[in-house]
Amino acid sequence: MPELGRAALVATLGLALYALLAGSIAAWRGRRRLALSAQNALMAAFGTSIVASLVLVSALIRHDFSFVYAAQHTSRELPSGYTISAFWGGQEGSLLLWLLILTGYATAVLLVNRRTARDLVAWVTPVLAAVTLFFAFLLVAVATPFATQLAPADGNGLNPSLQNPYMMAHPPLLYLGFVGLTVPFAFAMGALLARRTDERWIVATRRWTLVAWTALGVGQLLGSHWAYEEVGWGGYYAWDPVENAALMPWLAATAFLHSVMIQEKRGMLRVWNHLLVVMAFSLSLFGTFLTRSGIVSSIHSFTQSSIGPWFLGFICIVVFGSLALVFARLPLLRSKTRLESLASREATFLYNNLLLVALTLTILWGVAYPILHEAVLGESRIVGPGYYNFFLRVFGLPLLLLMGIGPLVAWRRASLRSLGLTFVWPAATALATGLVLLALGAGASIPGLIAYTFSAFVLASIALEFARGTRARRALSGGSWPAAFSALIGRNRRRYGGYIVHAAIVLLAIGIAGSSAYDTVAERRLERGDTLVVGDYRLTYRGLEEREAANATEIRAVLGVERGGERLGAVEAGKNAYTAERQVSNEVGIRSDLLTGEDLFVIAEQVNADGSVYVRAFVKPLVNLIWLAGLVFVLGALITLWPDAREQRRLATRYEGAEAPARP
Amino acid sequence: MSVALVLGALLAVACVFLVALPYLREPDAERDVLEEPNELDRRRLELAERRDRALGALKELELDHRTGKVSDADYRALVGPLRREAAEALRALEPRAATPERVKVERPG
Amino acid sequence: MARKRNPARLIVALSIAAVLAVFLLYTSIAGGGTPSISPSELAGQQGIVSLAGRVQPGYKGDSYGTGLRFRLRDIKGDSTKRVIVLYKGSVSDQFKVGREVSVKGELRNGIFVAVKDSLVTKCPSKYTAKKST
């Protein structure tokens, strides 16, 4: 069986190589059948990747420990869900997942686009093939998942902290995001190679980019939720380089998504868009490199392995190659449209771009600086959360404000008078909110207060947009308010879906501000019957409970919870001792208050032999808004993604004239 | 082991078949040329995009005006040039007369 | 305002200048990262530093009581210098002999007195992500 897996990977390598070479020649020389053949090869590579993946998954399920990978990442007692998710738990498996998703995306995108835009697709194929070739090469020559050994009796099992539903979904979603960014990149480079100056590549990839961006966002939220619940130090984001590795491409992709809207509507910012997509894709490769090469002294250090230099080399090729291509095609990309006013919606998009890029670059510097410093001066350095938090405020707060300003400003040119009128209500709401919060004591944290005030502004401006739009719709075609509301969204999916996504980001900002700027913490050693007071809560230590689970012994400290004299049940916090993996994990107790969105977060830091426990407890206000934001985010993204028959028809007629009709 | 061999062989055959498929389907293709948009096609595409942009901008202007983001004065100032732009683009694409007043604007909503 | 010159270029240039200014200001005030020192380099260091080393056999004490005492040596290289660390605060479940840790504090009378809750333990290389602090 491992031979089949290896053969499948070699076949993938060969097919990718063929697709790259044949595809390039076909596009350069204009050979139709060769171009089709190259596309078929790339699609066949999806088939061979599936075979390789099935071989690995079956080895995991069958507990075939003659596969080194199965022995390293599973054990006989491991629940079957986690046995399957061990596929992406280790380095080789995660590379195979990258390859599988990449060839899957490539196949889908080629199938959809191959009959139209043939010249574009002809160049997109070799670009996709080149990336596929890289990953196939790594899997065949550097980090194979199909290494074999004399089968031991049992495997090492999965790291207990990964035995959590969030960790099952987190990597695949992140990879759907990382890999998905290859599609707009390939189309952007393909358009340059094909010397096309039109928006075809943007139209073709808009939904793919949205899906990748959404997946990347949700994947990060899941990761944060996992860190919050499972790792349990009281936070959800530590500015760890591996966390930043996913944040950076997401920020760049956010800038890209907004910027292409400008290109579609006004034909501007063409060069920006190509640079942004190169940045987003390079950062997603860089992110994979960071998490896979062990180069960064991060608590998340994965294996110290040999794939690092290969990744670095490939990233350099990608960056320099794409920049050279953009530079070579610069004359084609010059747009004729000019920015008419600094107070127009185009201008706010430009400011938005600049802030997002600035934030991304500062995070990149924070990650790269220790590596460079050590490489050049031999001295080890650490960049702490202080650096990141500072720049998050400096760039993030203005970005938050812009989310509210942008929708209120008109295209091309906004007169100051009309600006003033449209701003009045949101600004008044924000000011009122700020004053009320100040009176309630939010002045304890100035950045927090500012975040809340800006959030009020944005939410007010979004609500106003929905209200005014519904009223206009109703004035136009009558009907009830709900009917007008859904008609409004139905006919303007991108705009109003976008507003919902913005609302999600605001919820995220409020949740983050509340739980980090206004949280309370208390800790002490408790004997049976002792109490700990944290915020408005009163915790009483009742005793220890011990129980046996499938693959672990669980010990829990049970604490009674009271607030304002009212009994609120109990919360349990403690540790799990995993038998096969011989590891102990921290299991925190969280009590979420659905009304206020706050969490009572309890950590049993130490369980002593005499039955006493050392407990640390947090009250985290509004933290559940963060997870709620995830749901709203997906809702907004779905609305934006929803196919619009009218728009599809319009785009089809736009391009059918210029492109060769389908051949029999 | 032999199962693996058989599966592997099948896989290899399938891949070769897929790669050769375009040549198998059309053994003697006289027109094996990859169609590229010529100068005329590119021009049409550019104009079509310009037309769609102008029409889209008009639709958004209507919506912005109805929701109060653009004042009456600004609307009057902006709508004329936009309509002319759209008419020009339409005219360039289809030489049949398209005057600014006859520019069909999709009902904004 | 001259309509011929594209204001976008001006904005971009000004923004880059602004970002650089903020960045330089911050790093000059807050410093470029905290130095991470190994036990063999610790002697003579003043003030609060970040010490990174490998946990040696034989640690005792209660980090939630009078303090956990453990010894660290260099992660890389053959230096035999050992540093005794006195630590109070939370300790990750990953903390074991042989693990790499990082802790903030300062050298006082030959003992490295740590800042509370600043102990960070790295996962062993085979496994994936678990944070400890």
pLDDT tens readout for residues A411-455 = 877 777 777 778 888 999 999 999 999 999 888 899 999 999 999
CB atoms within 10 A of CB C7: 17
- Written as six digits, the tokens of A352 are 């938005």
Element (H, E) at A620: strand A613-620
Burial class (CB in 10 A: 0-12, 13-18, 19+), A407: buried
Give A259's contacts (C-beta < 8 A, 6+ positions apart). Answer: A269, A272, A273, A276, A349, A353
Q: Is C57 helix (H, G, I), strand (E, B) or coil?
A: coil
pLDDT of residue B109: 44
Element (H, E) at A432: helix A416-439
pLDDT of residue A303: 43
* Per-residue pLDDT at C131 exceeds 70: no
Question: For residues C91-118, b (16+ Cβ closer than 10 Å) or e, as one string?
Answer: bbbbbeeeebbbbbbbbeeeebbbeebb
Q: Are A452 and A437 in contact (CB under 8 A)?
A: yes
Q: Rounded to 5 degrees, what are φ and ψ at A545? A: -125, 140
CB atoms within 10 A of CB A649: 10
- Report yes or no: A405 at the B interface, CB cutoff 8 Å: no
Q: Do C52 and A380 make contact, defined as CB atoms within 8 angstroms?
A: yes
Q: Are C82 and C54 in contact (CB under 8 A)?
A: no
Of A4, A32, A122, the CB nearest to B4: A4
Of A342, A354, A373, the CB nearest to C15: A354
Q: Report the chain B residue with the minimal C-alpha distance to residue A42.
A: B19
ipTM above 0.90, yes or no: no
Nearest to A155 by CA among A266, A68, A61: A68
Higher pLDDT, A496 or A653: A496
* Per-residue pLDDT at B108 exceeds 60: no
CA distance C32 to chain A (A): 7
Q: Is A521 helix (H, G, I), strand (E, B) or coil?
A: strand
Mutation site for B-interface testing, chosen from A198, A417, A471, A647 by largest number of B Cβ within 10 Å: A198
Do C and A make contact, counting contact as 3+ CB pairs within 8 angstroms?
yes
Q: Are A524 and A466 in contact (CB under 8 A)?
A: no
B51 in a structural domain: yes
CA distance A137 to chain C (A): 23
Q: Is A313 helix (H, G, I), strand (E, B) or coil?
A: helix
CA distance A660 to chain B (A): 6
Q: What is chain A's alpha carbon radius of gyration, rounded to the nearest angstrom?
A: 27
- Written as six digits, the tokens of A25 are 């020649």
Q: What is the largest CA-CA distance in chain B?
A: 81
Q: Are A69 and A87 in contact (CB under 8 A)?
A: no
Residues A81, A78: Cα–Cα separation, whole Å:
8
Q: Report the chain A residue with the minimal C-alpha distance to residue B11.
A: A48
CA distance A278 to chain C (A): 19
Q: Are A119 and B36 in contact (CB under 8 A)?
A: yes
Segment among A529-543, A634-648, B25-39 with least mean pLDDT: B25-39
DSSP assignment of B33-85 equals BPP---HHHHHHHHHHHHHHHHHHHHHHHHHHHHTTSS-HHHHHHHHHHHHHH
Q: Do B22 and A660 make contact, defined as CB atoms within 8 angstroms?
A: no
Give C32's contacts (C-beta < 8 A, 6+ positions apart). Answer: A369, A373, A381
Mutation site for A-interface testing, chosen from C64, C68, C121 by largest number of A Cβ within 10 Å: C64
Cα dihedral value A481, A485, A506, B63, nearest 10: -110
Nearest to A358 by CA among A322, A319, A394, A406: A394
Q: Are A125 and A42 in contact (CB under 8 A)?
A: yes
* Per-residue pLDDT at A523 exceeds 50: yes
- Written as six digits, the tokens of A327 are 């530079």
Which residues in A lie closer than 8 A to residue B5 (C-beta atoms)? 3
Q: Is C121 helix (H, G, I), strand (E, B) or coil?
A: strand
Q: Are A597 and A621 in contact (CB under 8 A)?
A: yes
Q: Do A382 and C123 make contact, defined as CB atoms within 8 angstroms?
A: no
Which residues in B lie closer than 8 A to residue A115 (C-beta atoms)? none
Mutation site for A-interface testing, chosen from B15, B28, B31, B71 by largest number of A Cβ within 10 Å: B15
Q: Are A602 and A592 in contact (CB under 8 A)?
A: no
Residues B78, A130: Cα–Cα separation, whole Å:
47
Element (H, E) at A533: strand A531-534
Which residues in C lie closer than 8 A to residue A606 (C-beta atoms)? 62-64, 91
Which pLDDT tens digit goes with each residue over A250-270?
Answer: 999 999 999 999 998 888 889
Which pLDDT tens digit goes with each residue over A624-652?
Answer: 999 999 999 999 999 999 988 888 888 88
Structural domains in chain B (count) = 1
- Report yes or no: A35 at the B interface, CB cutoff 8 Å: yes
Q: Do C64 and A525 make contact, defined as CB atoms within 8 angstroms?
A: yes
Segment among A215-219, A326-330, B49-53 with least mean pLDDT: B49-53
Segment among A22-31, A69-78, A108-117, C1-10 with least mean pLDDT: C1-10
CA distance B23 to chain A (A): 7
Q: Rounded to 5 degrees, what are φ and ψ at A620? A: -115, 100
Band of residue A188 on the pLDDT scale cut at 50, 70, 90 = very high
Q: Report the chain A residue with the minimal C-alpha distance to residue C101.
A: A299
CA distance B95 to chain A (A): 15
Q: Do A384 and C128 make contact, defined as CB atoms within 8 angstroms?
A: no
- Report yes or no: A650 at the B interface, CB cutoff 8 Å: yes
Q: Report the chain C residue with the minimal C-alpha distance to residue A394.
A: C22
Q: Report the chain B residue with the minimal C-alpha distance to residue A461.
A: B69
Residues A425, A531: Cα–Cα separation, whole Å:
48
Residue B80 sits in which domain range? 39-102
Residues A203, A337: Cα–Cα separation, whole Å:
20
Look-up of token digits 């934006």: A640
Look-up of token digits 């390039």: A24
- Report yes or no: A119 at the B interface, CB cutoff 8 Å: yes
Q: Is A75 helix (H, G, I), strand (E, B) or coil?
A: coil
Q: What percent of chain A has pLDDT over 90?
A: 62
Query: Facing residues of C114 across strands?
Result: C105
Which residues in B lie closer than 8 A to residue A200 (C-beta atoms)? 45
Q: Are C49 and C37 in contact (CB under 8 A)?
A: yes
Residues A618, A520: Cα–Cα separation, whole Å:
6
- Written as six digits, the tokens of A2 are 């491992």
Q: What is the largest CA-CA distance in chain C?
A: 75
B16 in a structural domain: no
Q: Do A379 and C35 make contact, defined as CB atoms within 8 angstroms?
A: yes
Query: Facing residues of C71 across strands?
Result: C84
What angle, rounded to 10 degrees, do the helices at A446-477 and A416-439 form?
A: 130
Q: Do A196 and B37 make contact, defined as CB atoms within 8 angstroms?
A: yes
Which chains lie within 8 Å of chain A at 3 or more CB pairs, if any?
B, C
pLDDT of residue C133: 29
Higher pLDDT, C25 or A48: A48
Helix and strand totals (H; E) in chain B: 3, 0
Which runs of consecutive H residues, i.e. helices, occur in A294-344? 307-328, 330-333
Q: Are C52 and A380 in contact (CB under 8 A)?
A: yes
Q: Are A274 and A188 in contact (CB under 8 A)?
A: yes
